[in-house]
Structure formats: structure tokens, C-alpha cells
Amino acid sequence: MRVPVSSELHVPEIPRGLEWINVAFINVDHLVGRACPLVEFWDFARVNSLRTLPYMKAWHERYHAHGLRVIGVHSPGYSFGRDPGAVHRAVERLGIEYAVVLDPDFVVWREFGNKGWPARYLFGPDGKLRYLHYGEGDYEEAELAIKDTLRELNAEAELPEGTVPPVRPEDASGVLLQPQTADIALPRERERVELSGAWREGPDYLEAAEAGAGMRVRYDAGGAWAVLSGAGVDEPGLHEFDGSLSAQAAGLRVHGFQFTPKAP
């Protein structure tokens, strides 16, 4: 959604004392008049954040030299995402080269009044909000807003032609998608899963109390992912899911399930 240039919404400062990846830190106030910040709230354990990632990386590559400053704010939706080591490994694994700030206590989230993942905020060279979008999609409009904002910074800028082509058919502008199964959060929505064997309840997961404990989910979507951590999981986060799983050992934690739309 484009925001009028007259908007009084100014880019919030990112509090000091937070951990950064790829940079020492960024003083947002110092970007005013020099660059255009693009702030994306994301979580490496949310599939919709990973689906927006190719665009964020492409925009960083295409427009960094022209004054765009991409900042990823990692606000974790699951308990394991509070581990800085897990975030560092995810950033390296995903090939993210732009600045990422760790927001385990949602301090930056509250400063922005943010409402979900992913969320994209583009600010002009005067520090005022130019564009806002929640969720996936709207990539072409977002890139056009980036170009317009960079021209405010430098009217003579020779920006790359065109926009990043859709990564997936469902990303194309104007595509209508069928409703998909809603994501499942455990243990709150345990009635939506079929359990076998022994499971115990944790703050944001169901944990297998024995090897062979199983879980089954019925869904209608283009793809499905289980959010896993604990015993038998090399790295916590998203793991492709075909509708059923069986714990290889006691201590497997299932935090929930996420689904993606079907291609048109």
C-alpha cells in the first residue's frame, strides 16, 4: 500500500543494545537524507517469510548502490528462534547479505506497532513512510515504490530497468488464489491434529514422550511444513511435511504446521 508523501509516520529508531548480523549496527537517524530504509519483519521459521526472501535479496542487490538500505528484523514466532546462534546459522544458510537485527523480545516490533510476518516498511529519504505491506505478494508495486523513493533521493539515478520477475506463478500481479488450510499453532490448536502415542505439552509445542509417537494433519494447500525442534532435528525450523510424522526419539518438539497456496 502506497502512503502519501505527506504522511507523518517517521521511521522509528532501532534501539541500541540489540545484536546485528552482517553489520556492526545501523543508526536509522543517520540514514535520513542519505538513504531509503526498507525494513522487513521476518522469521526464519515462517514459510511466508522465506517466500518473500528472494525479492528482498534481489532488491538489496539491485538498489543498494542507489541508496536502498534493506534491514531485516528477526522477530521470532517460536521459542527456538530466540537463540542467536540459530538465527546466525539461518542467515548464513539462506545467503542473506543485508543487515539483520535480532529482536527476540519484540522491542523493534513494538516500536513499529507491527502486526505480523512478513511486514514490509519503505521509508523515503526524509524518513517518512512511503509504502507498507503485510504478508506475501504485491512485489511489483513494492519495487515500483522503491524506485520512486530512490528518485526522491537522486532524481538523476540510473536505476535498473523493469522489476524482478515473479519467482512463482502465484506471485504474479493480479492472480486470484484459492483459500488454503489455515496454519496450526501448538499446543493451542491440538484439536486440529490426530495424535498417536504419548505426547506432553510445552509452552509452544507438543513434545514426543516416546519414540514412535505420531501426528497426522489433514490439509488442502500447495505445500505443507512442520515446525520442528528438539531430538532428531539438525536445525530447528521448517521441515517439509506430507501429512504425517513419527518421532524417531523422545524429545521431538512439534510447534505447529504451515501451509502455502496452490499455484493458479
Q: Is the pLDDT of residue 6 over 60?
A: no
Mean pLDDT (whole number) for 26-42: 95
How does pLDDT run across 107-143, given as a tens digit for each residue? 999 999 999 999 999 999 999 999 999 999 999 999 9
For residues 118 and 41, give the distance between their C-alpha atoms in angstroms, rounded to a whole number. Answer: 5
Question: Quick check: 202 pLDDT over 90?
Answer: yes
Q: Which of 39-43, 46-50, 76-80, 166-170 has the lowest mean pLDDT?
A: 166-170
Q: What confidence tier does 10 reach under pLDDT thresholds 50, 70, 90?
A: confident
User: Greatest CA span in the chain, whole angstroms?
Assistant: 66
Q: Which value, in Å, is the radius of gyration of the alpha carbons in the chain?
A: 20
Q: What are the chain's domains?
A: 20-171 (3.40.30.10), 184-260 (no CATH)
Q: Give the pLDDT confidence of 216-258 residue by residue, as tens digits.
A: 999 999 999 999 999 999 999 999 999 999 999 999 999 999 9
At 256, the amino acid letter reads G
The cell 502512503 sits on which residue? 3
Give the tens place of pLDDT for each residue, 157-189: 999 999 999 999 989 888 887 888 999 999 999
Cell of 189: 490448536
How is residue 165 written as a grid cell? 520477475
> 29-62 b/e with 16+ CB inside 10 Å = b?
eebbeebbbbbbbbbbbbbbbbbbbebbbbbbeb
Entry field: residues in the chain = 264
